[in-house]
Chain A
């Protein structure tokens, strides 16, 4: 198919992007890596009248400042994949991005685009919620910060106001005995996920759980924070039985949407399996144990 006709401009700064969007009216859209927008235009699921290209609006900077990892919205998935700074400060990002599409997609797609798109299977959205990231946005009314947990509303819908652009994403970098894990199953290498589970675990000196976060992605209309269900683990040494109970409880409760290639019950079972694996792997990593992979490594 061919896209509907459109106009195209490049912005050289974020404020200019905001101005251009405002001038372009209702049907103006930002384009970053184009990896989601262009396919939608080709299928005529989107028909913007004006594309504001933000690729040159800022650098693709990755900075570690004051216990915070700050990524420019233009940072590409491949930048994350290969950044030692990211790996050292927020390893869940490194682990998650390898699941995104293929090498071509990862070299063009951006974190800002991924979060703004609001696709419920986006790995980076699940990680952002699990790691408690904050999204910096700029709009006609100035700059504001949105906690990732408040950004995703439903399928392809975020709490960004019309005319707002994402400029940066900030991930907290807490110290201590902390481990994380990102687990995913897709039908085929590089496909959008059937189920994702992301967990972080902090342990005290005695290997007892200080705090735990658990987020399930790709099954509902947005990443679902189910940390509450993992609370029974706090104060305990994390083991298979307790984790199994948490995982089963999460799977029983969570809302699972339809999918072309998988039934609801099957995906619910996968939630239980992956939530369990994510929690156990995160706990192992926090304990500094040799990295036992509770997954089967079924993706490349």
Chain B
């Protein structure tokens, strides 16, 4: 389902080279719930961004749903990303100028879905995360926990096959964090694969498999 083989990623800034990944190998099966753990700076986020087609590897092979995506062009990558992958970030990353429901509807907008259907599905998603009455509010008018639930709704609105969450509870209190995780796990009931980056042992404990990332490599189990 997800397969990374010998993946490296080097960030360049002028003459300075920062190797974030130094040959990572990882396989994740369809429908699996995996937690990525490891020290800060180990390359967890980078790994997640590569799986989510948000970045391209410097070398190595990335395959998604049995298809090599290393050499896909931007349009195809964007297409795949928009229709199959849901992202949740630590810093929420909502668009402050858009209302809650508009933030949720955002992915649908790039799928040529009619405005009316966009709003219907966004409101239905907000209902599912328990924020139906906050639909018309701007992100700055919501609490952190509410913002992250809106972000989860945005990830779920496309009925993703793959949900990627980068420390989704990192900015939240434990109660809000649990609520967010519950919502993420609900997605799995539809058959989605869930990959969560975390350094909270309680969060990692909820996963079926814990993968350790150290110094740009995936540690063998």
Do these two chains really belong together in a complex?
A: no
B residues contacting A by CB (< 8 A) are none
